[in-house]
Amino acid sequence: MRTMRLGTSDLEVPVVAVGCMHLNELDQRDAERFVHAALEEGACFFDHADIYGDGDCEVRFADAVGMSASVRERLIVQSKCGIRPGMYDFSREHILAAVDGSLRRLRTDYLDVLLLHRPDTLMEPDEVAAAFDALEREGKVRHFGVSNHHPRQIDLLRRSVRQPLVANQLRLSVADAGMIASGMNVDVADGAAIDRDGYVLEYCRANDITIQPWSPVQHAATGGAFIGSAAFPELNAVLDDLAERHDVAPTTIAIAWLLRHPARMQPVVGTTKVERLRACCRASDVELSREEWYALYRSAGHPLP
């Protein structure tokens, strides 16, 4: 699989990341099969969060991969923290405790990347900075980033945090592409022109922050996958046509659409099915033309101004 640089770091990562949110839904044998299939595809970047399965997904992953010092060297492990029942918590104490919990469950001494999961409006940037400094000094976290953050929230963090914020994990797919649509409808008097996210796409590009699209084959309004859905007939017609043209699955085309964007995105795929994972990984080898990219964009219901 192709690799890319994560943000401004020196970390080379595969262009497709493996989301582990549903890993605890697999039994031990299927979890092992899934994780090792990912490694066979070169998809060695695994995305976790302390809340996934209430921590059980991290445990299941460590068991499935057979975590050891030699295995750990082959992996790039990212986890997220900051969500607690009924609240968000970016306090120094919670960040440090959350990382220690993830390290214990993952049976590793360090995370390659730690993301702050959801914005905490009670955040004290100096507390976050103190936590990051301690984690870096103790060798527990090597790189830092955020998830679902607005540009101004990132700016607020950067006033205190010393370390580069290398990634921002954001909801994005061809069918759920508001962050792209708003940037193409500037000075247009309709809903698509509304700035809902501070032009986070352009902000991340300008600041060399890697966007990690989550739910890359889903749409928020329907709550499910758009591939094969009767709710998206035009999009599926174009996906099927391009899939036949490139001799791949429609899922591959949906991921390739994200990889074609010059923002150098790293989609996080959440499937637990081996064949679907392999289809996602094949997107690394598909280069959509400008005409194909825009055909998909328009067919998903995003008219050009």
Q: What pLDDT does residue 221 have?
A: 75
Q: For the CA atoms of 215, 192, 296, 304, what is the dihedral angle to 10 degrees? A: -170
The chain-wide mean pLDDT, for the chain, equals 96
Q: What pLDDT does residue 222 have?
A: 76
Lowest-confidence range among 156-165, 187-196, 287-296? 187-196
Q: What is the mean pLDDT of residues 254-272?
A: 97
The sign of the dihedral angle between the CA atoms of 89, 210, 114, 44 is: positive
Q: What is the mean pLDDT of residues 158-179?
A: 97
Structure tokens at 286: 């598909």
CATH class name, domain 3-178+198-227+265-270: alpha beta
Q: What is the mean pLDDT of residues 186-192?
A: 78
Residue with tokens 């649509």: 181
Which H/E stretch holds residue 46?
A: strand 45-47
pLDDT digits (tens, 9 = 90+) for 95-122: 999 999 999 999 999 999 999 999 999 9
Q: For the CA atoms of 62, 68, 73, 75, what is the dihedral angle to 10 degrees? A: -10
Q: What are the Cα distances from residue 128, in Å, to 41, 93, 102?
A: 36, 9, 18
- Whether 238 shows a pLDDT value over 80: the answer reads yes
Which residue type, as a one-letter code, is found at position 19? G
Q: What is the mean pLDDT of residues 11-28?
A: 97
Q: What is the mean pLDDT of residues 216-236?
A: 92
Lowest-confidence range among 48-62, 209-223, 224-238? 209-223
| Domain ranges within the chain, ordered by starting residue | 3-178+198-227+265-270
Cα separation, 166 vs 144, whole angstroms: 6
pLDDT tier for residue 186 given thresholds of 50, 70 and 90: confident
- Whether 187 shows a pLDDT value over 90: the answer reads no
Q: What pLDDT does residue 297 have?
A: 98
pLDDT tier for residue 262 given thresholds of 50, 70 and 90: very high
